[in-house]
Structure formats: C-alpha cells, structure tokens
Chain A
Amino acid sequence: EAQVTQNPRYLITVTGKKLTVTCSQNMNHEYMSWYRQDPGLGLRQIYYSMNVEVTDKGDVPEGYKVSRKEKRNFPLILESPSPNQTSLYFCASSLEFISSPLHFGNGTRLTVT
C-alpha cells in the first residue's frame, strides 16, 4: 500500500532532550516536506526537500533540522526541544514539487514539558 509512515505517533519529552521523528514513503516521491499544525494557525511548513541531499527551509524552521540521505526517508530532528515545539507534526510527499498532490502521514503529536 502506498503510504507515508511517521513514527512515533505520540511522544512526550522534556526540554533539551534531543529527539528524531522519522518519516518514510514507499512511492518513490521526489518531494518531501514537514508541517506543524497548531490551533488557530493552521498548517505551517517547517522544511522541505526536492530530492536526495537537497533540503531547504520553510516558514518556521527555527529549532529543527532535517536530512535527506536517501529518497524514501526524511527525518525531522529537534536538537534541543522546547515547550513551544509542542505541536502536531505531519510529513508529506509528492511525486514532484511543483503541482502533484501531497500525500500526508498520520501525524506525530509531540509534547515538550
């Protein structure tokens, strides 16, 4: 089944403890992206990648890192999480970055205390 898989689905952590949220897609998509969703603010893009070894900042990249070493994986790294990064995170992918529909993962709900 074609899908975008995120792990974990839920994560509670403490301020400053490094964490990684994994994202994997099995559709051979070139474009991958991370979003966060907060009440009243909608979906905001954090980082995106147009292909392997090509990444760039979205609207809200501060406090996040990403890597794209292989086409299927696009992990989101929080080196030193803070409470304002408590949010619902979505990974998405599309065949190419211009106008193909995005396919989203089921989300990761992160709480930083």
Chain B
Amino acid sequence: DAKTTQPPSMDCAEGRAANLPCNHSTISGNEYVYWYRQIHSQGPQYIIHGLKNNETNEMASLIITEDRKSSTLILPHATLRDTAVYYCIVRSSNSGNTPLVFGKGTRLSVIA
C-alpha cells in the first residue's frame, strides 16, 4: 500500500469547513483512498473512501486530484464533536490481509 503524508495538526473554527489534506504521491491505479477518524480513545470510525471521482456522504466530501497524488477530506460545517485524529490510508483490492497502517494522522481541533 502506498505511503501517505498528512500534517500533524490543524485548527478549525466551529461552523467553518475543515479541509484536511493528504499526500499519496506513490499511489497506484488500483488503490483506494480511505479516511478514518478516531475521537479520543474510541474505535476508529470509517468516514469515506474513493478511487478517482470525488465522493460525498452524510459525513464528509472527498476530493481527489486528477493525478490522484493527493486528496482532501472536507467536513463542511465542523462542530466541536469533529475534534479527532483523522487518518488517510491508501489500500488496494490486492492488499489481501496486509493490515491497515494508520500512521500518525492529523489531529484536528475544532475551536468554538
């Protein structure tokens, strides 16, 4: 699975959009981009994933650049409850059971 790079921390004002970047310059054609988050010491929570096209669900939007070397997770109206560590992971259907490598992620602090 390709390696990802994320900023260690970010702040966002409550009610504003939170844009979390992820660099995955070595991504291959069959690798998906997944986003999870972990609030305090709770279990990681799946947010969204995509391959090439931008994706949106009830939690967030995922914007993947045309060359697929980077992506941005957008929380459109951040709330205090969105304060968490956000993990960007790339994974292919050929990964078999190679464990998900969560890395250090981005610690997002939503400020009132």
Which residues of A pack against B, CB within 8 Å?
4, 33, 35, 42-45, 48, 50, 56, 58-59, 88, 90, 92, 97-99, 101-107, 109
Contacts and interface: CB of A to CB of B under 8 A. Distances in A.
The CB with the most chain A CB atoms within 10 A, among B43, B49, B103, B104, is that of B43
* A interface SS class: strand
A105 B43 contact: yes
A100 to B, nearest CB: 9
The CB with the most chain A CB atoms within 10 A, among B42, B99, B101, B103, is that of B99
Interface residues of B, number: 22
Interface in B17-43: 32, 34, 36, 41-43
Interface stretch (B5-13, B60-68, B71-79, B87-95): B87-95
Given A48-B97, A107-B42, A101 B104 contact: no
B53 interface: no
A42 B87 CA distance: 11
B93 A102 contact: no
Contacts of B49: 101
A90 B99 contact: no
Given A98-B95, A98-B96, A99-B32, A107 B43 contact: yes
A42 B46 contact: no
Nearest to B32: A99
Nearest to A97: B97
6 contacts: A4-B43, A98-B93, A98-B95, A98-B96, A104-B45, A109-B41
